[in-house]
Amino acid sequence: MGANNPQTLRLIDDINKSEREFFYEIVGWIDNDINKIGSEYFGYKVLGTPEVLRESKYADCYLLNNITTNAKVRYDVTQQLIKYNLAFVTLIHPNVNTRFVEVGKGCIIHENVILEAAVCIEDFVVVSSGSIICHETKVSKYSFISSGVKIAGLVNVGECVSIFLGATLAPRLSIKSRSTISAGSVVFEDVDINTTVSGNPARKISLIQSESFEQTKSTVSDIKQRLKQLFTQEFISLLSIEGNEYFADYDLLPSFEMLRLITSLEEEFEIKILDSEIDEENLGSFENIIIFINNKNFS
């Protein structure tokens, strides 16, 4: 489900090449976007919306929710798929050591993830490439762990939690359900239910108002402040850019790294920044991005 993620295709290919006794054959994509039906994405056809799963020819197929926008979206899509009563597959990259680890159904564990002993990953969780989850930590249902996240031991991550790129969590914390930890944050304290935290050390920046995950409207100043936080030396170092001192004054970034920063903002605030109004020529300047955000209406 979700015709948009080649990383999962590579994961399946790595599993199929790993001398396992089973082999996964990809039948095709399903997607809620009717405009994609009949198209091919990365060599596989979009079969239709989830309603095609009612057809008898798919009765023996496994389902995989490939959506990793954030935990809210992942939860919503999973609930949509459960009603078709098909089995969900769990995909774990062959280089991940899962001895003395519990992993539930419908999970995706990408390459170079470290799961230490006595870690528990509940159903429908995604752990992205290069993340580390230390001993006796529990990650509850529907949560999304982005790339490069480090979670220390004995942490309890609640249901539907989103932890974005490169965040670090100290030991023995409780991260309550439906909370969000922003990219690059360093968390030393428990995080309340329905709360977004950001920064180093992480502080609460917004409260998600309802059980249905509707987030409060973010002001332009919130977005600008977060963008500037993402231009810290620590975050640039996380993105493996050489010559970090060059960017100390928030001057320029390569376009592809600016795209990653903006994508992180879009996920965190559930807004759309990138569109036809912005292109690679004005991505590189911090001031240009601020001007663009000032002129954009996010209400």
213 located within any domain: no
1 located within any domain: no
214 located within any domain: no
Domain count for the chain = 3
Q: Which residues contact 294 (CB under 8 A, 6 or more apart)?
A: 220, 224
88 located within any domain: no
| The domain boundary residue, chosen from 172, 207, 242 | 207
User: Please, how many CA atoms are within 13 Å of residue 80, restricted to the half-sphere of its CB?
Assistant: 19
| The domain boundary residue, chosen from 35, 53, 82 | 82
Amino acid, single-letter form, for residue 223: I
CB atoms within 10 A of CB 27: 13
| The domain boundary residue, chosen from 207, 231, 262 | 207
269 located within any domain: yes
Instruction: Based on the fold, state whether residues 197 and 255 are members of the same structural domain.
Output: no
Question: What is the rounded distance in angstroms from the CA atom of residue 243 to the CA atom of residue 288?
Answer: 22
Domain CATH code at residue 156: 2.160.10.10
Angle between helices 255-269 and 220-230 (to 10 degrees): 140
Tens-digit pLDDT string for the chain (299 aa): 877 778 889 999 999 998 777 788 999 988 888 888 888 888 889 888 889 888 889 888 899 998 887 888 888 888 888 888 889 999 999 999 999 999 999 999 999 999 999 999 999 999 999 999 999 999 999 999 999 999 999 999 999 999 999 999 999 999 999 899 988 899 999 999 888 888 889 888 755 443 333 333 344 555 556 655 555 444 444 443 333 333 333 333 444 455 556 666 666 666 555 544 444 444 444 555 555 555 554 44
Instruction: Based on the fold, state whether residues 184 and 287 are members of the same structural domain.
Output: no
Q: Which domain holds residue 68?
A: 6-82
Instruction: Based on the fold, state whether residues 25 and 104 are members of the same structural domain.
Output: no
Instruction: Based on the fold, state whether residues 184 and 237 are members of the same structural domain.
Output: no
Helix locations, the chain, DSSP H: 6-16, 71-82, 220-230, 233-238, 255-269, 286-294
Quote the pLDDT of residue 130.
94
55 located within any domain: yes
215 located within any domain: no
pTM of the model: 0.70
Quote the pLDDT of residue 6.
84
Instruction: Based on the fold, state whether residues 203 and 100 are members of the same structural domain.
Output: yes
